[in-house]
Structure 1
Amino acid sequence: MRFLADRMLGKLAKKLRILGFDTLYFNEISEEDLLKIVLEENRVLLTRDREFHAKAVKAGSRSFLLKSNYWQGQLRAVFQRFKLQPEFFKPFSRCSKCNAELEKVDPDDIKTKVPDYVFFTQVEFLRCTGCGQIYWKGTHVPRIINALSDFINEGGHHDDR
Structure 2
Amino acid sequence: MKPFDFAFEQTLCLEGGYSDDPDDRGGRTNWGITEATLKDACSRGLVQNKDVSALSKEEARLIYKADYWDALKLDSVLSPAIAAEIFDTAVNMGRSAAVKILQEALHYLGESLAVDGVMGMKTLGALNKWSSKDERALFVCLNGFQFMRYVGIVEMNASQKRFSRGWTKRIQTYKEG
TM-score w.r.t. length of structure 1: 0.26
Quick check: which has more Rg, 1 or 2?
Answer: 1
Which is helix-richer, 1 or 2?
2
Which is strand-richer, 1 or 2?
1
- Greater RCO, CA 8 A, separation 6+: 1
TM-score w.r.t. length of structure 2: 0.24
